[in-house]
Amino acid sequence: MSSEIINIEDIFAENVFTLATMQKWLSREAYEEIENIVEHGGELSGKTADIVAKCMKDWAVERGATHYTHWFQPLTGCTAAKHDSFITHPNKDGKMFLEFKGKELIKGEPDASSFPSGGLRATFEARGYTAWDITSPAFIKEDAVGKILCIPTAYCSYKGEALDKKTPLLRSMEVINEQSLRLVKLFGNTQAKKVIPSVGAEQEYFLIDRDLYLKRPDLVFAGRTLFGANAPKGQEMDDHYYGCIRERIGAFMKDVNIELWKLGVTAKTQHNEAAPGQHELAPIYETANVAVDHNQLVMDTMKKVAENHGLTCLLHEKPFAGINGSGKHNNWSLTTDTGVNLLDPGLTPNENIQFLLVLACILRAVDLHGDLLRQSASDVGNDLRLGADEAPPAIVSVFLGEQLEDVVKQLVETGEAKHIKEGGVLETGVSTLPDLLKDPTDRNRTSPFAFTGNKFEFRMVGSSDSIGDPNVILNTIVAESFCDACDRLEAADDFDMAVHDLIKEYMTAHKRIIFNGNGYSPEWVKEAERRGLPNLPTMLDAVEILTTDKSISLFEKFGIFTKAELESREDVLYETYSKTINIEANTMVDMASKQLIPAEIKFIGQLASTVNACTQAGVPCDVERDLLCEVSGLLAEMRSALDTLKDSIAKAREIEDHKESAFFYRDGVKVAMDALRIPADKLEMLTDKELWPIPTYADLIFEV
Ligand code: ADP
Ligand code: MG
């Protein structure tokens, strides 16, 4: 074990061009211009852009950077970057000077015809532009390729249409800021100049041995196992959750933390998760767009560091059947620049009128637009997880906890909340242990959208997905409710009376969205249906929510998306779905044809020889014969399922319309995939381990 001393204070953000670093490197004038834009928005002057670019380059080069890149987040959900070195044409003496100009900092023009645009950008006008997001600091990434200065950017088409996850997020942050300021002003807060959505994303992941990973084409191509019988042990003993972290994993976590701290990511919590091989990392919450960028860095860093440790980090939502999959909890709150968290109920929430109005607005937002929230958390992998007794159901509801639910009940029934349920004291019964103050809200792990003290925790998001979309939706739908409330309260003669009535009205109209019970139970599905709450079980059921009249008018009202942008996103989602399932299906065909079936033929050959030999020798061989029949029967089943799958893929490929194709992949191809897996997994349980051609679940999950 190394005894090297890590000083977090020294290394934290050493690879980030933070405001503090800028202050050191820039002239006072230039720094103040930047600071002002970060705080209040606006555009950088050309002159200052040149100064900033030069300083940024000098700072990066001093740290060994050779290239810069506009780092952006296209609709693939990953990050993209093209590296440009700082070198310029040598002068006549052959001397070369490094250069980075203001216009290169502010704007880029990646040849981006290969990124998904959903028809927004025809190939003949393939221009796409990246623009510096000045509110998210530039940083240096250290990879095998060298040190690259990364400039976080938003990515738009020639006509300014958003082609990425960042642009709508920045738009939605401006909108929630504007509407929140209206709201706090109504309560007499005129000092606040800005309200920021804060986000903390807990990230779950699996680690497996890299050599074993490379022996599984399904993991390599699809990121999840497409075959595999359960290991004798799963997660039933609950011995992995919060359990002792093994040395190899510990070494990985240590390096991930160091890398992240250097990038200014506040990696804070780490622990083993419920499933064997599964872990979690959570940073401290920060401004939404920075949190979105940082979550991408967390995922990138995990993958890179895992490789250095002979491991592979799986971010897929469901790498293994039969044990828990992975998600992300998106913790969200709203804070003023004067330090007030609008979601902080204080000690007496029943008397905190501003909090009650905010709460009522959020209930209204989630009730009116729960379908959009659900859509924002859907991706192909998450279909295997949501509603499967390990993750929230696909039905959106709100968990408030006993105390707040009681406050809402009183408000709805009488228009006033006169008292609150106290948390009380939890007696430990041991004289040397302190008695603990009980939290008034218990935790409910089954709720998709839970109030947890001073924030809402949106728990549906998939582990591999960007948290951009969910935060766009949260910001927008809450802004819409704030706007509705402010329109009415600003026009009221008697504010106190009006706010009292409005809280009661919203809570009464939208209380059906509150559910404090067990979200995993089948009764909830029935109850939710009775309440009229939407249940969109799969990703494809949710895609078209983006372009309902209700959604279009919401997004257009606040300038988040145009109708064309929404239609393009819808198209990209359908296409992504088909492509993903197509890769999975082809991988299954490949593995079944080239690995599993040949292995079974060998096994059958061995069994048949044994049966023949035994018969000749005149010894009984009923066991061998039975096994031979069973294996041969399953092999025939597998072969026929394989043929069906191949036919299904061929049919799917003929469909040109993206939506129609996606539904065919779901209802045809995927069904055929499931059918192929059944005999294969049964065969795995019957086959000589020496002959089984791929590592098993037991090898993958327990041999780390
Ligand atoms: P859990 O019990 O679900 O693990 P934690 O209290 O550890 O929850 O917090 C999880 C995440 O929530 C962390 O990223 C944390 O920084 C973030 N968080 C805490 N307070 C807030 C807040 N007011 N707004 C947004 N995120 C927050
Ligand atoms: Mg959590």
81-95 per-position pLDDT tens digit:
889 999 999 999 999
In the reported structure, the alpha carbon of residue 441 is separated from the centroid of ligand 1 by a whole-number distance in angstroms of 15
Cα end-to-end distance, the chain, whole Å? 18
Q: How confident is the model at residue 348 (pLDDT cuts 50, 70, 90)?
A: confident
Q: How confident is the model at residue 418 (pLDDT cuts 50, 70, 90)?
A: confident
Q: How confident is the model at residue 392 (pLDDT cuts 50, 70, 90)?
A: confident
Q: What pLDDT does 244 receive?
A: 84
> Rounded to whole angstroms, what are the CA distances from 433 to 200, 438, 442, 492, 655?
32, 15, 21, 54, 67
- Give how far the C-alpha of residue 291 lies from the chain's centroid of Cα atoms, to the nearest Å: 11
Per-residue pLDDT, averaged over 18-36, amounts to 95
From the CB of residue 243, how many other CB atoms can be counted at a distance below 10 Å? 13
The pLDDT tens digits for 558-607 are 999 999 999 999 999 999 999 999 999 999 999 999 999 999 999 999 99
Do the beta carbons of residue 446 and residue 516 sit within 8 Å?
no
Q: Is the CB of 157 under 6 A from ligand 1?
A: no
Q: What pLDDT does 390 receive?
A: 83
The residue contributing the CA closest to ligand 1 atom 17 is: 200
Nearest-ligand number for the alpha carbon of 285? 1
The pLDDT tens digits for 152-168 are 999 998 888 999 999 99
Q: Is the CB of 319 under 6 A from ligand 1?
A: no
Q: Is the CB of 471 under 6 A from ligand 1?
A: no
Helix (H) or strand (E) holding 286: strand 286-287
DSSP string, 95-156: -------HHHHHEE--B-TTS--TTSS-GGG-BEEEEE-TTS--EEEEETTEEEEEEEEEEE
CA atoms within 13 A on the CB side of 626: 5
Q: What pLDDT does 228 receive?
A: 98
Q: How confident is the model at residue 442 (pLDDT cuts 50, 70, 90)?
A: low
Q: How confident is the model at residue 124 (pLDDT cuts 50, 70, 90)?
A: low
Q: How confident is the model at residue 125 (pLDDT cuts 50, 70, 90)?
A: low
Q: Position of tokens 């920021």?
A: 196
Q: What pLDDT does 415 receive?
A: 86
Helix H, strand E, coil C: the string for 173-217 is: HHHHHHHHHHHHHHCCCCCCCCEEEEEEEEEEEEEEEHHHHHCCH
> Rounded to whole angstroms, what are the CA distances from 328 to 219, 224, 299?
21, 17, 11
Q: How confident is the model at residue 273 (pLDDT cuts 50, 70, 90)?
A: confident
Per-residue pLDDT, averaged over 313-324, amounts to 96
Taking 3-state DSSP, the helix, strand and coil percentages for the chain, each rounded to the nearest 5, stand at 50, 15, 35
The pLDDT tens digits for 601-653 are 999 999 999 999 999 999 999 999 999 999 999 999 999 999 999 999 999 99
Q: Is 29 helix (H, G, I), strand (E, B) or coil?
A: helix
In the reported structure, the alpha carbon of residue 331 is separated from the centroid of ligand 1 by a whole-number distance in angstroms of 6
Mutating to test ligand 1, I would choose from 269, 292, 331 the residue with most ligand atoms within 8 A of its C-beta, which is 331
Ligand 1 atom nearest residue 332's Cα: 25
Do the beta carbons of residue 171 and residue 560 sit within 8 Å?
yes
Q: How confident is the model at residue 235 (pLDDT cuts 50, 70, 90)?
A: confident
Q: What pLDDT does 423 receive?
A: 66
The pLDDT tens digits for 488-540 are 999 999 999 999 999 999 999 999 999 999 999 999 999 999 999 999 999 99
| φ, ψ for residue 164, nearest 5 deg | -145, -175
Q: What pLDDT does 408 receive?
A: 94
Please give the share of the chain, as a percent, with pLDDT higher than 70: 96
Q: What pLDDT does 39 receive?
A: 87
| φ, ψ for residue 162, nearest 5 deg | -70, 130
Q: What pLDDT does 508 receive?
A: 96
> Above 70 in pLDDT, residue 438?
no
Spatial CB neighbours of 702, under 8 Å, sequence gap ≥ 6: 231, 233, 276, 277
Q: Is the CB of 459 under 6 A from ligand 1?
A: no
Per-residue pLDDT, averaged over 461-482, amounts to 98
In the reported structure, the alpha carbon of residue 444 is separated from the centroid of ligand 2 by a whole-number distance in angstroms of 10
Per-residue pLDDT, averaged over 446-453, amounts to 94
- Look over the chain and give the mean of its residue pLDDT values, rounded to a whole number: 93
Per-residue pLDDT, averaged over 449-467, amounts to 96
| φ, ψ for residue 239, nearest 5 deg | -95, -5
Q: How confident is the model at residue 441 (pLDDT cuts 50, 70, 90)?
A: low
Mutating to test ligand 1, I would choose from 285, 286, 444, 459 the residue with most ligand atoms within 8 A of its C-beta, which is 285
> Above 90 in pLDDT, residue 702?
no
Q: What pLDDT does 175 receive?
A: 98
For the ranges 38-47, 255-264, 414-423, the one whose mean pLDDT is highest = 255-264
Q: What pLDDT does 334 receive?
A: 98
The pLDDT tens digits for 106-123 are 999 887 677 888 877 665
The pLDDT tens digits for 67-81 are 999 999 999 888 988
In the reported structure, the alpha carbon of residue 392 is separated from the centroid of ligand 1 by a whole-number distance in angstroms of 18
Please give the share of the chain, as a percent, with pLDDT higher than 90: 83
Residue burial 137-161, b: 16+ Cβ < 10 Å; e: rest: bbbbbbeeeebbbbbbbbbbbeeeb
Burial class (CB in 10 A: 0-12, 13-18, 19+), 4: exposed
